[in-house]
Structures are given as structure tokens and as C-alpha cells.
Amino acid sequence: MARTRPSTPPRRAGAGRGPEGARLPGTEVPLPGVDPAWSRTLTVASTAPVEPVPGRRRRWHVLDNAASLEAAGLTPRGTVLAVHGNPTWSYLWRTVLAAATDPANPWRVVAVDQLDMGFSERTGLTRRLDDRVRDLADLTAALGLDDGPGPVVTLAHDWGGLISSGWALEHPGVHAGTILTNTAVHHDGAERIPAALRLALAPAAHGLLTDRTSAFLDVTLRLADPPLPPEVRAAYRAPYATRGRRRAIRDFVADIPVPAGHPSHEPFERIAAGVARLQGPALLLWGTGDPVFQERYLADLMRRLPHADVHRFEGGNHLVAESRDIATPVLAWLADRFGPGPTRRQRHLQARARAAEPFVPFHAGLEERRADPGLAVVDMAPAGDGPADGAPPVRASLSWAGLAERVERLAAGLTAAGVRPGDRVNLMVPPGSELTALLYACLRIGAVIVVADTGLGPKGLTRALRGARPAWLVGIRRALVAGRALGWPGTRIAVEDLDPVSRRALGAVADVPGLLRTAPDPELPVPDPDDDAAVLFTSGSTGPAKGVVYTHRQLAAMRDAVAATCGLVPGTGLVAGFAPFALLGPALGVTSVTPDMDVTAPRTLTARALADAAAAIRATAVFLSPAAIDNLLATQDGLGPAGRAALGDVRMLLSAGAPLPEPLLERTQALLPAAELHTPYGMTEGLPLTDVTLEGIRRARADARPADLADELTGAPAVAGAGNGVCVGTPVPGTELAVTPLGPDGVPGTEPTREAGTTGEILARAPHVKDRYDRLWATEHEATALPGWHRTGDVGHLDAAGRLWVEGRLAHVVVTAEGVRTPVAAEHAAQDVPGTGRVAVVGVGPRGRQVPVAVAETVPPARRPGPADPELAGAVRAAVRGATGLDLAAVLVLPEHPTDVRHNSKIDRALLAGWAEAALAGGRISTP
């Protein structure tokens, strides 16, 4: 192909430049975020098939940061060729252009205005897909990109994805990588195109919406969340002020090649098929709230580019470059994939690699007891109105032999139904023997279990499942009904034996009773230890719930960590009032029972229900969440002698989900007098990481007391390491902990330390820490910034004895003018004031000048939210000042704190901070 150079030097726009951004030729509209030095025009000979005169020169406008890089003396590592869609223009990529001038990671970014779009020439011709691919080839030749230096990575949005992919297929020697944001390279003709495009294609509306008016443009600009500022909206509209300048918007819509007879259908299919041949690194950045390029198009791209890194921006809309910060992950990915040495992922896996240990499959405990007639799993029924000390109301149970056989039959039945190794299976079944058998059957054949808590609510659960995209949904009738109504993905398998009408209505292809009629198959596939085993979702207490991927090796390591920490051995009876642990019982070889409760709402557990469950299996161990313990203590008056006796036999209590304050543990000890109380620290990404008993907490407090007293005598703030926070104990076997010290701006550093008394972000590494976050490349990239370590997002410190003290979440530290203060010590001091319940200390105001505000629940609950009465406020202020030296700006009260949905115990401090700021500003005060 002949290469054409510009006949005249590139011309940069500069008329009316000002701090608000460039003004390009033909418009006086300011362009916020655009450096005038980026704007250039050049003329290029066109070889597009549509041109009546081959070689006709066409004027292009591009935004190109080459001059900025040259002025700064920077040599780019390569070029990003950024291609917009319809009806945007190169302005879409301004944040990437700016970020790419980072001296540590410079890249040339050429953001094109396609012909007839943006500020490029209006040719008066109807350009189709083939023409636009050829146009882009003409331009890159003229710019010299086909000759290097350095790699060329395409970046595209909307229909720019198809065009840039066509260019990439024609330039295999220069194209090195692909970045795509909300786009599509193919559409299955069996499915309808999105409603917005159907309307725009309708003959009666097509011209009216696309060029005769600016309706199509205006609707597109509304597809950003939060809404675009008026000046940004004006900038997008600037090139399309008249009908003549909007003609290409109409032509672009008309070129959607859906019908087989469409002129662009053949190149459309050819490019779509070719995308699977793009072997270079790929990154897919996706706004999940896009009504046009929905997640089915992301799924299609993931099938074509299985090696692609994926990051889903929850709630991000069609204009994802406006809805979310894409520049940061784009530049981070470029540095990672095209920088020197191995990628961060590779360095992380190398750093966490340990001496190979014999792998014992997760379900080994079940296998070892497969001939045992003793109880393995027990399901409890509601207690009803019977006597409190009557026989425990058992609904169903399975022996070890029965459970093992059920697992083998289900594994064979799932395989016969079409479930394959690596398939994701969403199990929407309440905890109990049914769920246990299904879970172990999936793990047995290498299917990946997807565990999303129904406590996330319909919206959160739907968001989680659409992100995980399970291939199968196994559920009770209610779950299948909800799945149909809410659009949950996956081929349906019913737990119950459905009648033919219900089966058709719910779309079920099989049912569990039918699967159980399948004979066990000795030739079932055996998963590799490093294959994915599970996607477990976080509680959603710090943002949208994240999928956490575990391999079979990591699940087995979690089992071993729990067994070593809690001393669980075969023969133990375990009451699992915390849903995740209900599934560990068979793996540990211990008999397990779930009490009668709503596991998605831990506060529904009563003392009687716990005692019934303990009595049913003569339990010696109990796992509960902190919220469950609260209600357990509140309902203990309903226990009779037999119930108290059953709880008296418990030898170990483990409470996970949030640290428990010492007074609550002491009250719990009175109800479980023989139990050793454990409060491990951990998270969905790794549980447990540390462990401590009530006695251990008392020893830690005693060790810290001399330093605390010295602080009180001098009036100085309490020293981190001298009791500041909640002691969560020492690392469990195989776990290493460290912190990265916080700077004066509250940002953690980059060097791990174990120095006693240093407050920083807590780091952890262990064989049972997650493999990765699911389809959240940017989140995982940040979480593994220190190879080998997982950044927990919590802050705390280690004391001289190696014990960890948790001081709060990194996002919740208060950055005042005097420095960084962590909230937990102040909260605990406030909670010791009579009349207060739970307290959250939040920062109000701009970071760096925040003031601390305490928001307290009261006992009895406050009638209305607002400022605390002067006596209570004064007592809280004095307690916090005396314990920590922190001066509270205000004390507010609420009837009840907003909390997360899974544990009912993690206070939503971000929501509270916004509420407190509004309340202190004098606005109408309502419950957050």
C-alpha cells in the first residue's frame, strides 16, 4: 500500500486558547481537558472503495500528544491508536492523552476524528465499514505508525471497536495489543439488537433522530453516570452543530450490519471471526450499566479473546470513559504488558510461591468417612410452639455414607446434564444437606461454584451474577422464579421435582431428583489443584460485592488453616451459624448442622435455635457472626435447663465477620461457660489470617496498659501499638503479616515492615489467600501492588509480641490538618460511655482538613437523628479525648447505623460521613 505523507506541516488549533481548553477551527466552544498542542490536521490520500476518484486527498483532524512528549523530552514506549464510535469524536480520549505524558510511562496517543465525524472533513459520501477500515489504514500510513517505532495498541469504543479490529487484522506486523471499551464486534442474529438502536433504525424515525435533529447525539450524551457537566456536553456537541455536519451520525446508524443482505454484513462477519486470531495482549474495560452494548457483548468478546484481562466498572454507563476513570487502568495495563520484565501478575505468583506441599483435595474428609454410618449433615426445622426443652426439631439428615453416595450420583448426573470442568455453577440453595451435596459434587467434577449471598438483595445479587456469568443455575423454585424475573444467567436445574408446566415456565432442563437417579461414574474428570474452584462474593460493605476466585489448592489450604486454628478434628460436632462455614464441615470430617435461622440475616438466630442445633449433634464447636451473637444474648431468657446444658457442652466459639469488643465476649462467655472464645481476623479474600481468644485479648490489653497510662499522664495522643485498635491476635500457621506505613496524606507507602507500633495498611500472604478478583483487573492490580502480598484495605499495626491490632479501614482514616487519625480507638472509647451503643467516627470535610465526628447509636435508641444532647456529647468528647487525644468536632446520634447486608455488623461509614456532613451543614436531617 502506498504511504502518503502530509503535504503541509501539521497545523495546531490555537484560536482563543485559554485555561478552559482549546478552541478548534470552526468552533468557539471551549473544550475542557484538551491541550491545544494536541490538535493537528493533515491531508491524506484516500484509498477507500467509496471514493469516486482514487487518491482523493481528505483532511483529517486528530488529537496527538507527540508534541507534548517531545517538549518534555520524553521518548514514548509505543503508540495508542484511539478510535471513537458514533456519535462521539476524539474528545472522548482526552484523559488518556493527558495521562500518557507521565514521565514514568510515556505513550504517544493518536486519537482520530473519523472522516465526516468530529472536526475531520465532511466528504458528502456514505462511508461503510470497509471504507472506514481503509480510511484508518490510510491515516496510520500517513502518520508513519506502520513503520514504528514501538508497538501500536488500539483503543476503541462503540463502533470504533469493529473498525480498529479490522485495522488490526490488516496490520499484524505492527499491531501489538487491543484495548476495548463498551463495544461489539458481532451480533447474534437470533437476538434482537438493543431497543435504542432499533428505534434509531426505524424508517420513520431514522433521519429525524440522527441528523434532522440532534436527538441521537443528545440521548448518547445522557448515557453517562454521573451526568456530564454542561461544558463537557457542549464540547461533544461542538462538531455537530448543523444537520449537514450530523450526516455521518445517520450513516453510522444505518451501517449497523444486522441483516444478512446488508452491504456491511460480509466484512462485519469477517472481522468478527478474525478477532479470535488477535493473539496480542488485550484489555476489556466495561461499563455494566450500558443499555446499548450490554454484557452479552462483553461475554462474546471474552469468548473470542479468552486471554484478555477484564475489568467491569459496576454501574458505568455507555460513555464509560466519562463515567469512570479509564485512563489510570489503561496506562497501568500498558506499563504492565509492555514494560520490561514480567507482568505484575507473574511477579506476584512468583513471590507467593512456596515449597510444594502434598495436595489433599478439599473433599478428602468426606472421602475418608464414606463408609461411616454416623451423622454428617443435619438440617434443623423451626422449633414451633413446642416446649423449649423438647426433642431438637430435626428436619433431615445424612450419614457420611449417604452424603458420599449422594455426591457421587450428583456428580455423575451433572456431567450427564452437560456440566463440564471449568463451567461456573450458581448454587441458589439454602444451607443444609442439599447445598452441601451439590457443592461437593461440583468440586468433584471440576465445576466452579459461584456463591453469592442472597443477603445482597435482588439488585446486588443480580449485579454479582451478571458479573460472574455462571453457565448453570441450580436452585429452589423461588430462586428459579427470581432468576427468570431478574435475568440471571445460566441454564436452569431445579432442586425440586417440578411438574411439566412449571419446568417449562421456569426453563429448567433437569432436576436434582433426576440427577440422583444417575449411577455413579468412576471415570469422572479430576480437577487440577490449580484449576479454579470457586467464586465467592464479598459482603458488599465497602462497595459493590466483588467476586473472589479460589483454586482447589487454595480452598484446601483454607480448610487446613481453619482446622489448625480451631482444632477441629473428625468427631467434632459443629454448629454453623455463619453460612460459609456450613460448607467446611464435610471437608474437615466433622458433623455439621445449620441452626433454624435466615442465614442471610444473622440477627435472626435465637438462643433457643442455637441450643436446639447444638443438642441435635452434641456440638462442641460453634461458628457465628457478631450480629448473631448480639441476638443470641438478647434472647437467652427463652432457654430452659436442657438448652443451657447443650450450650454448656460447647468447647469452642469462633466469631467471624467483624472484631468483637471485649465486653460482648465476656457476656458471651457467661452463656457458653466451657467454651474458648475465638475472634479470628480475615475476609472473603483470606480466612482466617489471625486468631485470638478472650484471654489473649485480656493479655494484650494488659501489655498495652503501661503505655496507655503514660499517655494519659502526659496528655499526648495514644501511641499506635499501645492498645490503639482491636487486638485480633497472631498470624495463623502459614500466614505472614506486615504493614505499609501511612504517609501524612493517609496514603500507604511501598515498603512492608513488621516494626512494632507502626500504623499502616495491613498486608497478608498465605497459601489460603485468594487467587485473584474476578474480572476486576484494575482492582487486582492494585491489591497486588507489592508482589506476593495481598493489600487488605484495612489499617492497623503489630505490637512487640507480634499481635495485630486493627484500627479501621484505609478508606475510613480521618486526615486532619494535624495528621492521620484512625477511628477504632476513638470509637471504642465512645462506646464505653453509658447510654451509647455502636459508634462510628468519620471524617467530615475535604481530605487533609477533615474534622472527626462521632455518630452514635444510643441506648435506648434515639427517637430521631441529629445532634446528641449536650450531656451525652460532652461525655463522649471527654472519653475520646482522654483515651486518644482526639478532639471531636461534633457528636450525632441515630436510632440505628446503616450496615452491610451479610454480617449486619459492618457500619457503612462512607454513607454516614456524607450524612454527617449534610446534617452539620444545617439541612434537613433524615435517617441515612
Type of residue numbered 264: S
- Beta strand 676-678 with 736-741 is unpaired
The CATH number assigned to the domain with range 690-767+785-811 reads 2.30.38.10
Domain residue limits, the chain: 36-338, 360-382+399-556, 690-767+785-811, 813-928
Overall average pLDDT of the 154-158 stretch: 98
Q: What is the pLDDT of residues 504-513, one digit of tens each?
A: 999 999 999 9
Left (φ > 0), alpha (ψ -120 to 50) or beta: where does 567 sit?
left
Provide the CA 185 distance to its chain's centre, in angstroms: 26
More confident residue, 569 or 74: 74
**What is the model's pLDDT at position 18?**
36
Give the confidence band of 333 by pLDDT, cuts at 50, 70, 90: very high
Q: What is the pLDDT of residues 623-639, one digit of tens each?
A: 988 878 988 999 999 89
Q: Is the pLDDT of residue 872 over 70?
A: yes
* 510-540: burial string, b at 16+ Cβ within 10 Å, e else: bbbebbeebeeeeebeebebeebbbbbbbbb
- Cβ contacts of 426 within 8 Å, gap of 6 or more: 450, 452, 465, 468, 470, 472, 473, 474, 475, 488, 490
- pTM value is 0.91
Computed from CA positions of residues 56, 57, 61, 67, in that sequence, does the dihedral angle turn out positive or negative? positive
DSSP 3-state assignment of 656?
coil
Give the confidence band of 355 by pLDDT, cuts at 50, 70, 90: low
- Cβ contacts of 621 within 8 Å, gap of 6 or more: 566, 568, 572, 573, 574, 575, 590, 650, 651, 652, 653, 654
Residue 704 gets which letter from DSSP?
H
Left (φ > 0), alpha (ψ -120 to 50) or beta: where does 808 sit?
left
* 438-463: burial string, b at 16+ Cβ within 10 Å, e else: bbbbbbbbbbbbbbbbbbbeeebbbb
Cβ pair 329, 769 in contact under 8 A:
no
Give the confidence band of 541 by pLDDT, cuts at 50, 70, 90: low
Q: Name the residue among 518, 508, 516, 489 with its Cα closest to residue 423.
A: 489
Computed from CA positions of residues 769, 771, 774, 775, in that sequence, does the dihedral angle turn out positive or negative? positive
Neighbours of 230 (CB within 10 A): 8
Q: Is the pLDDT of residue 75 over 60?
A: yes
Q: Cα–Cα distance between 341 and 493 in angstroms, integer?
A: 46
Overall average pLDDT of the 557-584 stretch: 86
Type of residue numbered 100: A
Q: Is the pLDDT of residue 376 over 60?
A: yes
Q: Cα–Cα distance between 219 and 317 in angstroms, integer?
A: 12
Give the confidence band of 326 by pLDDT, cuts at 50, 70, 90: very high
- Cβ contacts of 32 within 8 Å, gap of 6 or more: 20, 21, 229, 231, 232, 235
Residue 211 gets which letter from DSSP?
I
**What is the model's pLDDT at position 206?**
78
DSSP 3-state assignment of 361?
coil
Q: What is the pLDDT of residues 676-711, one digit of tens each?
A: 999 989 999 998 999 999 999 999 988 875 444 333
* 27-44: burial string, b at 16+ Cβ within 10 Å, e else: bebbbebbbbbbbbbbbb
- Beta strand 532-537 with 175-183 is unpaired
Computed from CA positions of residues 275, 276, 279, 281, in that sequence, does the dihedral angle turn out positive or negative? positive
Type of residue numbered 778: A
Q: Name the residue among 86, 98, 19, 37 with its Cα closest to residue 246.
A: 86
Q: Cα–Cα distance between 910 and 551 in angstroms, integer?
A: 32
DSSP 3-state assignment of 62?
strand
Cβ pair 220, 319 in contact under 8 A:
yes
Residue 687 phi/psi, 5-degree rounding, is: -145, 130
Ranges of beta strands (E only) in 817-880 are 819-821, 836-844, 851-858, 866-867
Cis status of the peptide bond prior to 659, with omega within 30 of 0: no
**What is the model's pLDDT at position 709?**
34
Q: Spell out the long-range contacts of 381-385 with Cβ–Cβ below 8 A and sequence spacing 24 or more.
A: 381/596, 382/596, 383/596, 383/608, 383/609, 383/612
Provide the CA 218 distance to its chain's centre, in angstroms: 31
Q: Cα–Cα distance between 383 and 394 in angstroms, integer?
A: 9
Residue 534 has, within 13 A of its CA and on its CB side, a CA count of 26
Residue 12 phi/psi, 5-degree rounding, is: -100, 140
For the chain, how many residues are written? 928
Cell for 526? 479430576
Q: Cα–Cα distance between 367 and 400 in angstroms, integer?
A: 9
Report CA-CA distances (Å) from 517 to 416, 443, 513, 520, 836: 11, 20, 7, 9, 58
Residue 257 phi/psi, 5-degree rounding, is: -90, 70
Considering the segment(s) 813-928 as one domain, its CATH architecture is 2-Layer Sandwich (3.30)
Strands lying side by side in the sheet with 621-624: 394-399, 375-380, 591-594, 573-576, 621-624, 652-655, 676-678
Angle at 437 between CA 432 and CA 441, to 5 degrees: 150
Q: Is the pLDDT of residue 143 over 90?
A: yes
**What is the model's pLDDT at position 705?**
57
Type of residue numbered 153: V
**What is the model's pLDDT at position 902?**
46
Residue 152 phi/psi, 5-degree rounding, is: -115, 125
Cβ pair 661, 623 in contact under 8 A:
no
Q: Is the pLDDT of residue 791 over 90?
A: yes
Give CATH superfamily name and number for 36-338: Alpha/Beta hydrolase fold, catalytic domain (3.40.50.1820)
**What is the model's pLDDT at position 656?**
77
Neighbours of 559 (CB within 10 A): 23
Grid look-up 455462571 returns 470
Cβ pair 615, 650 in contact under 8 A:
no
* Burial bucket for residue 764 (CB in 10 Å: 0-12, 13-18, 19+): buried
Q: Name the residue among 371, 378, 374 with its Cα closest to residue 401.
A: 371
Q: Is the pLDDT of residue 839 over 80?
A: yes
Same CATH fold assignment for domains 36-338 and 360-382+399-556? yes
* H or E, element range at 724: none
Type of residue numbered 627: A
Q: What share of the chain is helix, strand, coil (3-state, %, to 5)?
A: 35, 20, 40
Overall average pLDDT of the 262-291 stretch: 95
Overall average pLDDT of the 448-452 stretch: 94
Q: Spell out the long-range contacts of 868-873 with Cβ–Cβ below 8 A and sequence spacing 24 or more.
A: 868/892, 868/893, 872/833, 872/835, 872/836
Return the top range by mean pLDDT from 477-486, 821-830, 897-906. Answer: 477-486
Q: Is the pLDDT of residue 22 over 80?
A: no
Overall average pLDDT of the 477-504 stretch: 95
Is the domain covering 360-382+399-556 a CATH 3.40.50.980 domain? yes
**What is the model's pLDDT at position 7?**
30
Report CA-CA distances (Å) from 563 to 240, 670, 770, 899: 66, 25, 18, 30
Cis status of the peptide bond prior to 834, with omega within 30 of 0: no
